Amino acid sequence: MEYKFVFQAVPEQEELFRQVSQGLEKLTEMYSREKLPGLWKVTDRLNRAQEGKAPISSGRRNFRRVMALVDWLLGIFALIPAVQSPRELGTLLAVGAAAFGVGAGMLWVLLPRTLGVLSLLISLPLIMGSLGNPDQLGNLLGLGVLLLLLGLAVLFSKFRRKENPYERAARDLLSHARDFQRDTQAEALLFLPDGIGYTVPEGVELSEPGLLDYSKLEAMVETADLWLMVAEQKGMILQKQEFQGDSDGFRAFLQEKGVRIIPI
């Protein structure tokens, strides 16, 4: 009995990228659980406790958002007169700064886009007023600049999503998905009873003769459209559309060979 993957080009699809990223994350978790079982026992216990908690209702969530917005606005309204007369209104300045800071922190988590837009809208008249009338409103320039920087920082962080390590690794793996095929001129990958091999066109010599023993196959990660084969600390992407054979039989075959199958 043999199972074959006939190599095809790997399309650059966002869905495949997402599946490879999830597969690498699951694989990393598996290795981590093997090396740090005690830490993962604590982590799993904490996760189960968190799952048992009742979810926050939409009413409570909306209440928190409103209170954060009110706190932030009150802080600004307190700071505007306070920064113009800091000596006379020192207490109001301290209270306003505290309310502004707490409100901004809560809004950054709960309503980041609202915080960014409102900060920009409020900063513009403060900056323009202080520059247009520096004698009376000059002290507002600092507050205006602070709101401008806050708005830009929030909106920039909101729209610029940082790629996590698994996504970077997935992108790199996909870009080299067919290096083995190119280097060896392989046409197909064969899963045989005695090991894993590959076929080449007539007249082409096998660059890596012999079979890869299943004991060197660390894991096979299965996603909706892919198999991620990990052997000797190297990964290879196999598309399910390349597979020729019975899928259930292939899984049973791998399990008989002692290969770990990690479903996603």
Domain C-terminal end among 159, 193, 216: 159
Same domain, 138 and 69: yes
Q: Cβ–Cβ contacts within 10 Å for residue 85, how many?
A: 12
- pLDDT bin (cut points 50, 70, 90) of residue 202 is confident
Tokens at residue 135, please? Answer: 């004698």
CA 145 to centroid of chain Cα atoms: 32
* pLDDT per residue as tens digits for the range 13-43: 788 889 999 998 888 888 888 887 887 787 7
Identify whether residues 104 and 194 lie together within a single domain: no
Give the model's confidence band at 222: pLDDT under 50 very low, under 70 low, under 90 confident, else very high.
Answer: very high
> Are 140 and 225 in the same domain?
no
pLDDT of residue 188: 92
| Stretch among 188-192, 200-204, 224-228, 247-251 having the lowest mean pLDDT | 200-204
User: What values do phi and psi take at 217, rounded to 5?
Assistant: -85, 105
- Rg of the chain (C-alpha set): 29
Q: Is residue 64 part of a domain?
A: yes
Does some domain include residue 77? yes
Asked if 90 and 121 sit in the same domain, the reply is yes
Specify the pLDDT at position 250. 94
49, pLDDT greater than 80: no
Q: Look up residue 79 and give its two tokens.
A: 């700071």
Residue 137: how many other CB atoms lie within 10 Å: 20
Please tell me whether residues 147 and 181 are part of one structural domain: no
What's residue 84's pLDDT?
A: 86
Residue 27 lies in a domain: yes
- Domain count of the chain? 2
**Least confident piece of the model among 5-14, 43-52, 152-161, 215-224:** 43-52
Cα distance between residue 96 and residue 102, in whole Å: 10
- Across the range 92-117, mean pLDDT stands at 89
pLDDT(218) > 70? yes
- Return the pLDDT at 130: 85
Classify residue 78: in a domain, yes or no.
yes
Residue 113 covered by a domain: yes
pLDDT of residue 57: 62
> What CA–CA distance (Å, rounded) separates 22 from 28?
10
Verify that 34 and 12 share a domain, yes or no.
yes
Q: Are residues 75 and 150 in the same domain?
A: yes
> Does 229 share its domain with 137?
no
pLDDT at site 207: 67
Average the pLDDT over 90-116 and give the result.
89
Residue 102 domain-assigned? yes
A 10 A CB-CB count for 130 gives 20
Q: Please report the pLDDT score of residue 52 as a whole number.
A: 58
CATH number, domain containing residue 209? 2.30.29
pLDDT of 56: 55
pLDDT for residue 164:
76
The answer to whether 251 and 260 have CB atoms below 8 angstroms apart is: no
Instruction: Give CA 207 to chain center in angstroms.
Output: 38
Residues 182, 250, single domain; the answer is yes
Longest dimension (CA), the chain: 92
Whether residue 123 is found in the same domain as residue 185? no
Does residue 108 share a domain with residue 181? no
SS3 sequence of the chain: CCEEEECCCCCCCHHHHHHHHHHHHHHHHHHHHHHCHHHHHHHHHHHHHHHHCCCCCHHHHHHHHHHHHHHHHHHHHHHHHHHHCCCCCHHHHHHHHHHHHHHHHHHHHHCHHHHHHHHHHHHHHHHHHHHHCHHHHCCHHHHHHHHHHHHHHHHHHHHCCCCCHHHHHHHHHHHCCCHHHHHHCCCEEEEECCEEEEECCCCCCCCCCCCECHHHEEEEEECCCEEEEEECCEEEEEEHHHEECCHHHHHHHHHHCCCCEEEC
* Mean of per-residue pLDDT scores for the chain: 86
Same domain assignment for residues 26 and 100 = no
The residue out of 90, 125, 159 marking a domain boundary is 159
- Specify if 171 maps to a domain: no
Q: Identify the residue with better confidence: 110 or 250.
A: 250
Domain of residue 10 covers: 3-50+176-263
How much of the chain, in percent, has pLDDT values that exceed 70?
93
Among 39-43, 45-49, 116-120, 218-222, name the one with the lowest average pLDDT.
45-49
Last residue of a domain, one of 159, 186, 206: 159
Residue 164, domain member (yes or no): no
